[in-house]
Amino acid sequence: MCTTTTGSVTVNLSFTDAVGPVRMRTSFDGGKTWTAWEPYATKKILTLGGADGLKTVIAQVADAAGNVGSASDTVKLALAPPAIVV
């Protein structure tokens, strides 16, 4: 797990497949919503949204045959500065 205070995270992908990965999509809310499918790349920069807290980032990759694999990780979003009480 990593923490971001800017909302930006870099997802590094390394999927292997006999046919080869051809497209990918990502989600930062545990799979409730997804980006559009796009050509496969080994790196994707995401901007996390919503309230501070733990986010489950999921990457799905599809090969030319239509098989889909996925991987996930948890990211802590901490945009709000801490409250200081004097």
Question: Residue 33, class by beta-carbon neighbours within 10 Å (0-12 exposed, 13-18 middle, 19+ buried)?
Answer: exposed
pLDDT computed for residue 39 by the predictor: 95
Segment 18-47 shows an average pLDDT of 90
pLDDT computed for residue 9 by the predictor: 83
pLDDT computed for residue 50 by the predictor: 80
Residue 51: band (very low, low, confident or very high) from pLDDT cuts 50, 70, 90: confident
pLDDT computed for residue 19 by the predictor: 82
Structure tokens at 33: 């919503």
Residue 11: band (very low, low, confident or very high) from pLDDT cuts 50, 70, 90: confident
Residue with tokens 């979003």: 77
